[in-house]
Amino acid sequence: MTARTILSSPLLHFFVLGGLVFAIYGLVNDSPTVADPEAITLQPAEAGQLVARFTATWDRPPTEVELEGLMRAWALEEAQYREAVALGLDQDDSVIRMRLSQKMEFISEAGAATLEADDAVLQAHLEAHAERFAEPTKLAFEQVLLPADAGDADAMRRALEQGADPATLSRGSLLPTRLPLSAETAIDRLFGGGFARTISELAGSGWSGPVQSTYGHHLVRVIELRPAVLPPLEAIRPKVEQDWRSTRAREMREEFGKALLERYDVTLPSAGEILAK
């Protein structure tokens, strides 16, 4: 049984809880693994790791001089590391409290990584969170930005209907005269809020307008309107599965916290009384 599988069993969490806390606490507070501080020995296997690390970075093994330098640096690091442990920065209780609480949080959601979902579960998730997976309404259109004084919009529209090139009629600007199929939100980011919705109502009516944007008045011809659609599960299964798993991780964390609190008789003073003091 792997550690992951053990961790993924919610029932087991409660049995191991107490023991685990003390085991972790022991790791943090005692330093039984620190060897005789006088001896610093680099094992050949560990030296080999230094070589592998260097090789991975530079695509060649270190020279003898370089390896000697790496090993000396390692010894210095080791000495500093032991001193850091000896400093006892891990002795502060309030901090350890917080850290152990974070460990519990991790355990509570670790199981989500190994969860498997069948199609029915994912289909339900897809439907429950349609807004996350829906393909938005998309529009393709042409537009002509009218001169600042609006010009003769009717004459211009007639010219466009007779096949005039929009690019020769529009006033110069950074707005594209022809926009390929784009999401409503992307269109609004370009022309201002509400523009996509306004022109979507002009689909099928040829050159229309003037329509107002944040930059002025436009004549518009909608080329294509593709309504919003929720793709079938098989088309976006990996995305739905990933989203379902991260949602489950959050839920597991919350459920775990709730279950944990239920194991205790929690007594908290009244906030009003405390503040009144």
Partner 1 sequence: MKRVFVTSSVLTLCAASTALSQDVPVNPLREAYFGNLHVHTAWSFDANINGAISGPDEAYRWARGEAIPGGGGGPDLKILRPLDWYSVGDHAEYLGALPLMADPESPVSKHPLAAAISGDDATASFAAYTEILDGISNRRNDPILGDPVLLASVWEKIIDIADQHYKPGEFTTFAGFEWTSNPGWRNLHRVVIFRDTENVSDHAFSAIESDREEDLWAWMDLQRVQGAELLAVPHNGNASDGLMFPIGTSYGGSDIDSAYAETRMRNEPLYELTQIKGTSEVHPSISPNDEFANFELWDYTLESTASPPEHKVGGYMREALIRGMALEAEGKGNPFKYGFIGDSDTHNAASTIEENNYTGKFGFENNPEHRLEGPPGVSEAAAQQVREFSSGGLAGVWAESNTREAIFDAMVRKETFATSGVRMRVRMFGGYDYAEDMMESADWLQAAYDGGVPMGGDLAAAPEGTAPTFLIAAMKEADGANLDRIQVIKGWVENGEQKEQIYDVALSGGRTDGSEPVGNTVDVADASYTNDIGAADLTAAWTDPDFDPAVPAVYYARVLQIPTPRWSTYDAKALGVDVPDGLPTSIQERAWTSPIWYAPE
- CA dist 199 and 219 (Å) reads 10
Smallest separation, CB 51 to partner 1 (Å): 12
Residue whose CB is less far from partner 1, 93 or 265: 93
- CA dist 166 and 176 (Å) reads 11
Smallest separation, CB 49 to partner 1 (Å): 8
Residue whose CB is less far from partner 1, 95 or 130: 95
Residue whose CB is less far from partner 1, 73 or 124: 73
- CA dist 85 and 258 (Å) reads 35
Residue whose CB is less far from partner 1, 15 or 265: 15
Residue whose CB is less far from partner 1, 207 or 276: 207
Smallest separation, CB 85 to partner 1 (Å): 5
Smallest separation, CB 186 to partner 1 (Å): 8
Look up residue 111 and give its two tokens. 């199981």
- CA dist 220 and 199 (Å) reads 7
| DSSP 8-class letter at 264 | S
Smallest separation, CB 64 to partner 1 (Å): 20
Residue 212, SS3?
Answer: strand
Residue written as token pair 């009218």:
146
Residue whose CB is less far from partner 1, 87 or 276: 87
Smallest separation, CB 52 to partner 1 (Å): 8
Per-residue DSSP letters for 174-209? SS-SEEEEEEHHHHHHHH-TTHHHHHHTTTTSSSEE
Per-residue DSSP letters for 129-168? THHHHPBPPEEEEEEEEPPTT---HHHHHHHHHTT--HHH
- CA dist 214 and 190 (Å) reads 9
